[in-house]
Amino acid sequence: MNTSHSKGPLVVVLDEGYGDTKIEQAVLQAYGARVVERPCHGDAAEVRRAVAGAAAVLVRESPVNAEAIANMPDCNAIVRYGVGVDNIDRTFAASRGIYVANVPDYGVEEVSDHALALLFAVARRVVSRDRAVRDGAWNIARSEPMHRLAGGTVGLIGYGRIGHAFHRKARALGYSRTLVHDPYLREPPEGVELVDVDLLCRQADVISLHAPLTESSRHILDEERISLMKPTAIVINTSRGGLIDTTALQRALSSGRIFGAGLDVFEQEPPGPAHPLFTLSNVVVSDHTGWYSEESVRDLRRKAAEEIARVFSGDVPRNWVNRWERQPVLNPSMT
C-alpha cells in the first residue's frame, strides 16, 4: 500500500442515499483512506469525472463503463453495493487488473422474513380484512375462506441462502413436508425432498421462489405449471418477477384457480398503478423491499467496504465477480 501518499488512498462513493460515509470510513481507516461521496445520479459523464484519482470505487446504480475505468488508472477495486453488476464493465476492469466485487449476502434474514410476511398476509387475508374492517365490516369470516398452514406442504424453488433461511423459519409453522427444486443441489438437505418443478407445483400448498433469474429459470412458473397447482395454492415471489409468467398468474388468480399470491417483485419494475394484479383481493404486493432493514443497510455498507479493505491488504475480494486467470500486481497507488 502506498503509505507515501500524504492524503491516503481515495475511495469514491458514486451514488448518494446513505447520508454519510461513516461506516465505510471506519472499515477503511486502517489504510488511511479518504472516503468521498460524489453522487453522479446515473450520469456516465459525471461518473468519469468523479472517479479520477480513485484507488477504489463504491457504486450502486451509476454506470461504470470503459471510459470511466480508463479514467481511474490507480484503481484497484470497484465494489457494487448489492448484487447486480450489469452497470460495471467487468471485462474491461479485468483487463486493467481491477477487481469487481459485489455483496450478495446482506439481506438474507430480511428477504426470508418478507416471504413469510407475504405468506401470512395472503393466507390470513390480512390486507383485505384490514380494508374491510376500516370500511365498517365485521365478523365476515366465511365470506372469504381461509386454510390452515400447519400440516400442509411447502415447496421451495431455489434453496440457497434465502431459501434455506425461509425453510429454517417456516419449520415453526408445522408443515408436514418440504419439497425443494434446485438443480444444483446434489444431496437433499435435512428435512427436504428434492423434486422436479412439476411435482412441486402439483403437491405444494405454498410455493416460494428463491432462485435467480436466468435463461433457464425465466417463467419457471408458466401457464402449464400454474395449471398443475392446487386450488388452495399460494405463490410467494421475493426473488425476481421474471420467474413467473405474470399474465398466466393473473388469470389463475382472478378466476380463483389458485388461492393467492404475495409478490415483492415484478417483471417490470415499478409496475405502475394500473397493473391488472392490483385489482385482485387475493394478491398482496410490496415494492421490492424484501432486502431492506436498517440493519441490512449497515451490513451492506460494511461488507462492501470490507471488500476494498481485502484488496488494500493484498488479498482478493471474497465475492470477486470478474475473475481472471493470473492475479495481477496491485496498481501503483497500493504498492
Task: Name which of residues 265 to 294 contact ligand NAD (CB under 6 A).
Answer: 265, 288, 290-291
| Residue from the set 152, 158, 260, 271 that interacts with ligand NAD by CB under 6 A | 158
Per CB under 6 A, 163 contacts ligand NAD: yes
d(CA 150, CA 54): 55
- Is the omega angle on the peptide bond into residue 270 within 30 degrees of 0, that is, cis? yes
Task: Name which of residues 230 to 259 contact ligand NAD (CB under 6 A).
Answer: 238-240
Q: How far is the CB of 201 from ligand NAD (least distance, A)?
A: 13
Q: Under a CB-based contact definition with an 8 Å cutoff, are residues 215 and 201 in contact? A: no
> What are the grid coordinates assigned to 72, written together?
481511474
Span near ligand NAD by CB under 6 A; candidates 42-50, 93-101, 154-162, 323-331: 154-162
d(CA 165, CA 44): 38
Q: Under a CB-based contact definition with an 8 Å cutoff, are residues 123 and 260 in contact? A: yes
What ranges make up the beta strands (E) of 102-222?
153-157, 177-181, 193-194, 206-209
Q: Which residue is nearest to ligand NAD (CB)?
A: 160
Q: Under a CB-based contact definition with an 8 Å cutoff, are residues 240 and 266 in contact? A: no
| Residue from the set 34, 96, 129, 161 that interacts with ligand NAD by CB under 6 A | 161
| Residue from the set 28, 59, 85, 211 that interacts with ligand NAD by CB under 6 A | 211
**Catalytic residue numbers, as ranges:** 240, 269, 288
Per CB under 6 A, 160 contacts ligand NAD: yes
Task: Name which of residues 76 to 115 contact ligand NAD (CB under 6 A).
Answer: 104, 107, 111
Q: How far is the CB of 251 from ligand NAD (least distance, A)?
A: 23
> What are the grid coordinates assigned to 62, written together?
451509476
Number of H helices, E strands in the chain: 11, 12
Q: How far is the CB of 321 from ligand NAD (least distance, A)?
A: 13
Q: How far is the CB of 83 from ligand NAD (least distance, A)?
A: 6
| Residue from the set 184, 187, 273, 294 that interacts with ligand NAD by CB under 6 A | 184
Torsion of CA 205, 209, 211, 217, to 10 degrees: 80
CB atoms within 10 A of CB 312: 24
d(CA 82, CA 301): 9
d(CA 298, CA 29): 17
Per CB under 6 A, 264 contacts ligand NAD: yes
Q: Which is nearer to ligand NAD, 15 or 182 (CB)?
A: 182
> What are the grid coordinates assigned to 131, written together?
380494508
Per CB under 6 A, 189 contacts ligand NAD: no
Q: How far is the CB of 164 from ligand NAD (least distance, A)?
A: 7
Q: How far is the CB of 288 from ligand NAD (least distance, A)?
A: 5
Q: Which is nearer to ligand NAD, 9 or 104 (CB)?
A: 104
Strand partners, 234: 206, 260
Q: Using CB under 6 A as the criterion, which residues of the chain lie in contact with ligand NAD when the complex forms?
A: 104, 107, 111, 157-163, 181-184, 210-212, 214, 216-217, 238-240, 264-265, 288, 290-291
